[in-house]
Structure 1
Amino acid sequence: MREDGHRGTGLSFALVLTGLALAGCASTPSLPSAPSFASVFGTGSGTSSGSEAAGSNALAGVQTPADFECPGVSIRQGASTLTSTSDGAEQNAMNMRYQVGFGQTARECRVANNIVSIKVGVQGRLIVGPAGAPAQVDVPIRFAVVHEGVDPKPIVTKLERLSVAIAPGNTNVLFTHVEENLSFPMPKGADIDSYVIYVGFDPLGARDLDRRRAPQRQAPQRSPRPRQQS
């Protein structure tokens, strides 16, 4: 178990890898193989049990459930792929510029001073379509921790925008990203068992952010009319 510079604090770690097939990739024989994703956090693929997590946090005076487990990662339904077409119309065999999808995910949890901090790693793949893609593709990814239930409640959310470079002649590009420090107070009782980490593409959120950041246009000032002299 590594503490990565956190001395004297109880930490609990969990790392889970989830293989998620990219839609449309299974029938493509020329896709490059993805490298190992187990060391995305530099901690290998080991996991700590609930008893180990509770024991380490007890030394720091943190009240952690004995069966504490890091919330699972799920790809948000309806946000698993990002597609761009050359004409803005519905995707077909000829107008697709590129499609982006998720491959593997991983997460690591730390509990210290009654705060849960989560790292989330994603591996994705960008496929260039017949219409051709630009040299740089903006990939907006939304990370969110949600308390699921009858009335789901967002706990923390972040929007990250990755710039994926496409080399000339390359039609399949792998990329990875680690989102640091999705933090929130440790919930009471067993509520943490209902927490889910969602990952998904969010182009609408990126556009809204661009609009808010765009400088507001000021109306041109009218010059005062010259006074007529009698």
Structure 2
Amino acid sequence: MRLTTNMARVGRLAGVGAVALALSACSMGSLFGGGSPSAQLQNASASQAEIAQASTSALPAIATECPPIKVREGGEAYAKYTGSSSIPKNLNFQAVIEKQSRNCVVSNGKITVRMGVVGRLLLGPAGAVSSVNVPLRFAVERDGVALFSEKYDIPVTVVPPNQSEEFVKVVENVEIPYVGGEQITIWVGFDPRA
């Protein structure tokens, strides 16, 4: 009895497999040379006029390799103290970078970069401030040479009873001439230097 049940199952599975194989063979006919001649692939080249028309109406292509954005070592946090920085209770506030992002568009031999950060300002034990300007620098380097560097003083207001506040900074339309093969890096970090 048990052997008959197992044989019936095997028979059903074999039947399902045969139907699936038959259906797949029907759909692959034109792939392997069957089907109508108009469905087969042919070698073709666009004319110069067709290429020019397509390039003027096409949207700019997104860069396949948008340069990475990194937080510069030592620039991930910015803190102010009311006294000695070796005493934690003297911390007035601290700002940190929580996220960084960028996107790129390639057009006319240039990479146009849009870059931004999300950060947070946190009041410390000695935090009596309600408004602070945090100094944030964005830079773009190609093979170790700066192509763009700009410092922004971002105003952040902490409204009591809150002890922290988020801030966002986005820099748009930074154009980088693109040759190909270069090592391009986008840097961001706090820069308290004057």
- TM-score class normalised by the smaller sequence: 0.5 to 0.7
The superposition leaves residues 96-139 of structure 1 with CA deviations (integer Å, 9 ceiling, x where unpaired) of: 00000001111010111112110111100111001014111101
Whole-angstrom distance in 1 between the partners of 2:128 and 2:102 = 31
User: How far is the alpha carbon of 1:161 from its aligned partner?
Assistant: 1.3
Two-structure CA RMSD over aligned residues (Å): 1.7
Match of 2:97 among 97, 102, 105: 102
Confirm or deny: 8 A CA contact 1:9 1:112 kept in the other structure: no
Q: Is 2:104 aligned against 1:115?
A: no
Match of 1:93 among 71, 88, 91: 88
- Kindly indicate which of the two structures has a greater share of residues assigned to strand: 2
Question: Structure 2: which 5+ runs fail to align?
Answer: 1-55
User: How far is the alpha carbon of 1:91 from its aligned partner?
Assistant: 4.2
Partner of 2:163: 171
User: How far is the alpha carbon of 1:11 from its aligned partner?
Assistant: 2.1
Q: Is 2:52 aligned against 1:11?
A: no
Letter in 1 for 2:186: I
Whole-angstrom distance in 1 between the partners of 2:105 and 2:161 = 42
Match of 2:123 among 125, 128, 136: 128
Q: Is 2:72 aligned against 1:79?
A: no
Match of 1:144 among 139, 143, 161: 139
Deviates more, 1:163-172 or 1:89-98: 89-98
Whole-angstrom distance in 1 between the partners of 2:134 and 2:184 = 26
Partner of 2:29: none
Three-state SS of the structure 1 residue aligned to 2:129 is: coil
Three-state SS of the structure 2 residue aligned to 1:124 is: strand
Aligned residues: 139
Partner of 2:187: 198
The superposition leaves residues 189-208 of structure 1 with CA deviations (integer Å, 9 ceiling, x where unpaired) of: 311xx11100000110xx2x
Letter in 2 for 1:158: E
The superposition leaves residues 125-184 of structure 1 with CA deviations (integer Å, 9 ceiling, x where unpaired) of: 111001014111101111001124xxx211111111110011012112111111112212
Partner of 2:13: none
Three-state SS of the structure 2 residue aligned to 1:94 is: helix
Q: Is 2:158 aligned against 1:158?
A: no
- Scaled by the length of structure 2, the TM-score of the pair is 0.67
Letter in 2 for 1:190: G
Letter in 1 for 2:150: K
Confirm or deny: 8 A CA contact 1:12 1:109 kept in the other structure: no
Whole-angstrom distance in 2 between the partners of 1:84 and 1:94 = 12
CA radius of gyration, larger in? 2
Match of 2:174 among 160, 182, 185: 182
User: How many percent identity over aligned positions?
Assistant: 32
Question: Structure 1: which 5+ runs fail to align?
Answer: 1-6, 14-52, 54-67, 208-230
Letter in 1 for 2:89: M
Structure 1 pair 157–121 and aligned structure 2 pair: CA distance change class (3 A): same
Structure 1 pair 94–153 and aligned structure 2 pair: CA distance change class (3 A): same
Whole-angstrom distance in 2 between the partners of 1:197 and 1:133 = 34
- Scaled by the length of structure 1, the TM-score of the pair is 0.57
